[in-house]
Structure 1
């Protein structure tokens, strides 16, 4: 086989990395260069080809160290039995690429993952060496996100946290049964143990930095994980409960959801078609409800179909919950507490904060609410204002057409 040059390797390994959705750089703090000689110093908030809150587009070099792997996970295009073109970077090649891309203003950081080569420990050593060299040899102050390997020695995983802004440990699938069936070489117990150890290290170093300015930084942007959606029989209810459990037990910054995509030479145990992309979107919306809207997991699950456990695709989960529990409405915008206002379809977190602040000075009318929200048409059937009370619509079939987008809009969004 002909020897590949760095450009050819980059083409293969950048394409192989596209299946990992968890390359976010949100939540980190700026790494300052004391001597003024550091490279890539940045706030590091965003993901590949996404936008930071201040409008900046953040780009990360997102690659695999190698797409060769000793594991044979059914859902993975890089599995041992897959017929794909293989390539492998050396640690130095990744470092040189990162520095070269940064100096050309192409990127502000690195997302690095890898297949398992030789052993979990050997692979983790190579990943850590990339981050160490960037930080210590080249004084790189840009964002680094490392995908760690649960089976590796805990000390190696700990070293990854010392050099990276964020670390990821993928749970892969929402249920232990699914993981056993589709990735028999992986262990749910080992994955959760690694996540627990990472959480402990993050908390301990965070406490130390509050007391000692010289205490080392450790994964300041926290840890995240990813679940594959649609590769097994797990319902949306299963996924929501698993995500809530991960947030609670391990203090994760994000859980990412990746819709299963059929791969070449697929295993016979995998579905023939990918799930609707809208399903992935609804799970992200459900995740948002739990993280920012104070919804409990059982409330989000209650929005799903009782028979199938799946969230509706035609409307968002918050609206589905409101239509299912119509007796909780209407909500008086001049009296209701924050937790009830957050359950009103069409009211976001900022709109609720503005309503609470404004009603201290005057009784709000419907036109006042309209100025504070994006779509008063969606909000109107669920609220009471000083000059407004909705007509009695207790039937979902009656109410739904008034608050849902046109079918054409949904189809365009799904596309």
Structure 2
């Protein structure tokens, strides 16, 4: 093996993969057996954070950065003058095994540019996973980025060897995609997502009848939306995410702020990166839909199509719906307690359980993990709330921002000022 050449390929293809953020492994449960390598149920995979806050790692690379498409927003587009490279199937397998043995990684996230055609590329991605599973008895986490247009047979085989499959929707709207990637359309991406959804259901039903039925993509599927390459509003982005959660049972939708990679007139100018705070607010809104019972239209709407970058979406909703507060933590429903700013899912359940045995105070719920410096304005522990008697929404927002402004918000205050002045947000 030419180690210098492998190292060069790794530098090129690992760097090209950094723009794909949809690589969380939450949901994997592949156990080690027959003295194999790895165990995806014991810990998560990749350089990201799982639902319980653990930071985990994976080998995250492209099989190749050659591509037949010329998407304006993509660094690997065919017209871009960059250094190209491609791994062989054996090289990816060897890298994964060697990195795992050295405890560098806990699994593999493998994507690729498209060379020749979809089936040609997808077949090689599947061969990597198949060799790891069957020849090396690798039981660590594998996430394959599927190729739109690949055959159903290859998609089915991918799901039998990978823990999670994903296909990037890329631009949230069809019009935006046509503008920046005229060779692509959303239907090409939606079809494999529908196939994976149906196969997961079929294999789960078969598993109920026959224990020997293999798992199919046990960690589900995900997708990624690029934010800021085109002029979609947060309302449009959140509605797209909600549609795919509802109709395709996605595990995750990831939001990636556009990083300028060219001076193409169709794209935002170089040096005008999407503020990370906007990306963060979209993730917070996503969390509200998935775990707090919020509907997409409650978080943003056509009259207010952008998330408030000064406050998180939950606080924003509470300030717009001040008439629904205060929430009495002694009597009100779990659904309303979940809507109180500063109260998380675990804390809400603790409150509902604990109030059966005693009358709760502010000190009690603080010990349960509630951020009382924020929640105190929206709850009552008896039958009244003095704060809401004297403060309207505007003044309450100012009070809360002054009292609870985090380091994160301070860090991006300069970016917020610039963003509010830009024509894009207006």
Q: TM-score, structure 2 length as denominator?
A: 0.91
Task: Provide runs of 4+ in structure 1 moved above 4 Å.
Answer: 51-57
Residue 285 of structure 1 corresponds to 284
CA contact (8 A) 1:47 1:59 kept: yes
CA contact (8 A) 1:28 1:44 kept: no
Residue 219 of structure 1 corresponds to 217
Asked if 1:7 is matched to 2:3, the reply is no
Asked if 1:400 is matched to 2:413, the reply is no
Deviation at 1:152, TM superposition (A): 1.1
Segments of 5+ residues of structure 2 without an aligned counterpart are 416-426
Distance 1:54 1:352 in 2: 17
Deviation at 1:207, TM superposition (A): 1.4
Q: Deviations 1:266-321 (Å, cap 9, x if unpaired)?
A: 3221001121110000000000000000001111114x8x35x1101110000000
Residue 87 of structure 1 corresponds to 85
Deviation at 1:249, TM superposition (A): 0.7
Asked if 1:189 is matched to 2:187, the reply is yes
| CA gap 1:229/1:56 in 2 versus in 1, 3 angstroms | closer
Q: Residues 78-117 of structure 1 correspond to what in structure 2 (within 5 A)?
A: 78-117=76-115
Distance 2:375 2:156 in 1: 48
| CA gap 1:317/1:118 in 2 versus in 1, 3 angstroms | same
Q: Give the length in aligned residue pairs.
A: 408
Residue 148 of structure 2 corresponds to 150
| CA gap 1:226/1:393 in 2 versus in 1, 3 angstroms | farther
Q: CA RMSD in A?
A: 2.0
Distance 1:148 1:50 in 2: 20
Deviation at 1:186, TM superposition (A): 1.3
Deviation at 1:46, TM superposition (A): 3.4
Q: Deviations 1:33-55 (Å, cap 9, x if unpaired)?
A: 1x22x111231653423455777
Distance 1:23 1:133 in 2: 21
Deviation at 1:146, TM superposition (A): 0.1
Residue 411 of structure 1 corresponds to 410
Q: Deviations 1:128-183 (Å, cap 9, x if unpaired)?
A: 11111111111111110000011111211111111100001111111111111111
Of 226, 238, 241, which residue of structure 1 is paired with 2:236?
238
| CA gap 1:99/1:372 in 2 versus in 1, 3 angstroms | same
Residue 424 of structure 2 corresponds to none
Residue 423 of structure 2 corresponds to none
Deviation at 1:111, TM superposition (A): 0.3
Q: Deviations 1:57-101 (Å, cap 9, x if unpaired)?
A: 421000000011000011000001111111100111000111111
CA contact (8 A) 2:106 2:141 kept: yes
| CA gap 1:408/1:353 in 2 versus in 1, 3 angstroms | closer
Deviation at 1:362, TM superposition (A): 1.4
Asked if 1:347 is matched to 2:328, the reply is no
Distance 1:347 1:311 in 2: 20
| CA gap 1:86/1:203 in 2 versus in 1, 3 angstroms | same
Deviation at 1:387, TM superposition (A): 7.8
Segments of 5+ residues of structure 1 without an aligned counterpart are none
Q: Deviations 1:354-392 (Å, cap 9, x if unpaired)?
A: 110011011222222222234212001111103862331
Q: Counterpart of 2:71 in 1: which secondary structure?
A: coil
| CA gap 1:329/1:55 in 2 versus in 1, 3 angstroms | closer
Asked if 1:276 is matched to 2:275, the reply is yes
Distance 2:54 2:371 in 1: 27
Of 191, 197, 200, which residue of structure 2 is paired with 1:199?
197
| CA gap 1:324/1:110 in 2 versus in 1, 3 angstroms | same
Q: Counterpart of 2:376 in 1: which secondary structure?
A: helix
Q: Counterpart of 1:381 in 2: which secondary structure?
A: coil
